[in-house]
Copies of this chain bind each other. A is one copy, B any other.
Amino acid sequence: MQTQTRPTDIAQVAHDRIYRSLRQKIMHGELAPGQALTLRGLANTYGVSMTPVREALRRLAAEGALTLSASGRVTTPELSPERIEELAALRALIETELASRALPRAHLALIERLQSINSANAEAAVKGDAVGYIRTNLEFHRTLYLRAQAPAMLAIAETVWLQLGPTMRAVYARLTRTEAPRHHRMIIAALKAGDEPALRLAVRTDVTHGLRHLTQ
């Protein structure tokens, strides 16, 4: 019983480390759409053999974060406008539900944390730091949704973020400024007021705003 494994059930093995590393890069928009990844190349980069790299890539491909060509080559996806519209609709559907479920549990400490993340988000925006912008933006949403106590829903929301990752960079590169924190402030205001319809609207607006102009 007195094993020295971590208290979590998170395996600390090589393929998992590589999976997390690549997943973060993809979700934060550090990889451009259409970029090719090779087993031997990544194995060399991470100093391991092809085996754990293959598992990490296959897992990411299963989650839609990467595309497998017919010959097994993996690349980051280049999304069609229709696909982007779908993923934006999914974000709106799932995240409004998550926000609704988080609302009754959103106490002052959470709202303060959201405001703090929002400051970092605005800072990244004015500095033109696209990766930092995306990272803090997702952190804002994740922090709120964690309160919903709905891990399966959150996992699916994150899967959608992952699929949008490579595209996100292109999206946010052009709008940045202090644009998006406005919607985040609307979310915070609705949380403070306990106004569920306003919260749902604010979340829906926030998640679809940046993607809408890409779907035409």
Measured CB to CB, the residues of A under 8 A from B are 5, 9, 11, 13, 54-55, 58-59, 61-64, 68-70, 72, 82-83, 86-87, 89-90, 93-94, 97, 149-153, 155-156, 159-160, 163
Contact = CB atoms under 8 A, between A and B. Distances in A.
Given A58-B62, A59-B62, A94-B94, 6 more contacts: A5-B70, A63-B63, A86-B151, A90-B94, A93-B93, A152-B163
Contact of A153 (B54, B68, B70, B86): B86
Interface of A is mostly: helix
Contact of A69 (B9, B72, B159, B160): B9
B9 A90 contact: no
B152 A68 contact: no
A150 B11 CA distance: 35
Q: Give the number of copies in the complex.
A: 2
Nearest to A65: B62
A11 B156 contact: no
A11 B97 contact: no
B97 A93 contact: yes
Nearest to A154: B86
A90 B156 contact: yes
Contacts of A87: 152
Contacts of A153: 86, 89-90
A89 B156 CA distance: 13
B94 A152 contact: no
Contacts of A63: 62-63
A11 B72 contact: yes
Given A54-B55, A58-B59, A70 B9 contact: yes
A156 to B, nearest CB: 6
Contacts of A11: 68, 70, 72
A48 B142 CA distance: 41
A89 B58 CA distance: 28
A59 B58 CA distance: 7
B64 A155 contact: yes
A90 B150 CA distance: 10
